[in-house]
Amino acid sequence: MDPNKRPDDMVRITTPELAQAFIAEKIEEIRAQVGDKNVLLALSGGVDSSVVAALLVKAIGKQLICVHVNHGLMRKGESEQVIDVFRNQLDANLAYVDATDRFLNLLEGVEEPERKRKIIGAEFIRVFEEEARKVGDQVSFLAQGTIYPDILESDGVKAHHNVGGLPDDLQFELCEPVKLLFKDEVRVIGRELGLPESMVERQPFPGPGLGVRCLGAITRDRLEALREADAILRAEFAEAGLEGKVWQYFVSVPDFRATGVRDGKRAYEWPAIIRAVNTVDAMTAEVPELDWALLKKITARILAEVPGICRVVYDLTPKPTGTIEWE
C-alpha cells in the first residue's frame, strides 16, 4: 500500500470524537517510530506545523526540538508572534534562527518559481542540520507539517517544500503524522489538542513564505513593499470582520512595473495583486464577492502608505484554473 495515498475508506475527521481517535492512534505510531531519539521540527507557527508540534509534544515531550527559521520571507511581525505563542503560551522547546541574509543571497536573480521553492526547501534542511549539531544530542528524525493537498499537488503541479525537492544529502528520516489529512481535518485536530483558536484558524501560508508572492526574482525593496501591503490587507480584513469567514487572503507583487501618476508626476512602480479565496480542502477554490467599499479602502491605504506601489488589482480567478498561489 502506498503510504502517501489516502485510503478510499478513510473517514473524514469532522467531530471531536474522530479527532481524539486519530490523536491516540498517531501518538502510538510516533512513539513506535521515534523510540528514544530526538526529533527536529520546522515550526512556522501555521496550523499544520503547530498540530504536528502538539502531537509530538504529547507523544515524546522534550525529545522534540522546535526550530523557527526566519528566512526573511515571513509576513510582518510573524516571527515575533511565533516566538511569543510557542515560548510563552505553549512552553515549547524552541530555537530561533535569523537566516534572512542567507536565504535572500541564495535567491538573488532566481526567477523561476520551482527553482525558488527548491532553493528555499533545500536551505531549510541545511539550517536544520546545523541546528541539530548545535543541540548536541543526535537528531534522527525531521518532522514536517505535510498535508494531503501538498502530496497531490506535487504530482505535476508544483513542488512544495514539504514534498519532494529535498536535497540528496538529507540526513533525517521523515516523521509526517498528518500527511493524509486535508486542511479542514487538521483544524479539527488542532482544537482537540488545545491549540489557541488564533493558531488553529491562522491564515494558510506557504513554506517558501513571501518568496512565492514576490513574483519572479526577489528584490529586497519589492519584498518590503509586499510585506507592508499584505499587512494592510490583513488588518483591513480583520477590521471588517472577515477573519475566519474568508479562507485565505494575501497580496502578491509581480516583477514588472506599471505607469501611474503621483503628485502630478509620472510614476513607474509595481502593481499589488489582492488574492482572496474560499475553500474547504484547498483542492478547489472560489473567489468571494468582497464589499466594494472595503476594496477601495484597502486600495487607498496601500497606494498612500506603501512606497513603490502605484496600482492595486483584485484577482477573480477560481481554482481551477488558477492555483491559490500565483507561483
The answer to whether position 106 is within a domain reads yes
Range of the domain at 128: 16-200
> Would the pTM of this model clear 0.85, i.e. be above it?
no
Q: Which of 200, 229, 262 marks a domain boundary?
A: 200
Same domain, 85 and 178: yes
Same domain, 181 and 225: no
Q: Looking at the chain, list the stretches that DSSP marks H as alpha helix, in order from N- to C-terminal side.
A: 16-34, 47-60, 78-83, 100-107, 113-134, 148-153, 183-192, 197-200, 220-239, 292-305
pLDDT at position 163, please? 44
- Mean pLDDT, consecutive 10-residue stretches, the chain (327 aa), reads 92 98 98 94 88 93 90 92 80 91 98 94 83 75 90 63 50 90 96 86 84 97 98 95 92 97 95 96 93 98 98 98 94
Q: Which of 166, 200, 234 marks a domain boundary?
A: 200
Q: Taking the chain, what is the end-to-end CA distance rounded to the nearest angstrom?
A: 32
C-beta separation of 273 from 311 below 8 A: no
pLDDT at position 136, please? 57
Same domain, 192 and 261: no
Q: Give buried/exposed letters for 99-116 (b at 16+ CB in 10 A, else e).
A: bbebbbebbeebeebeeb
pLDDT at position 157, please? 45
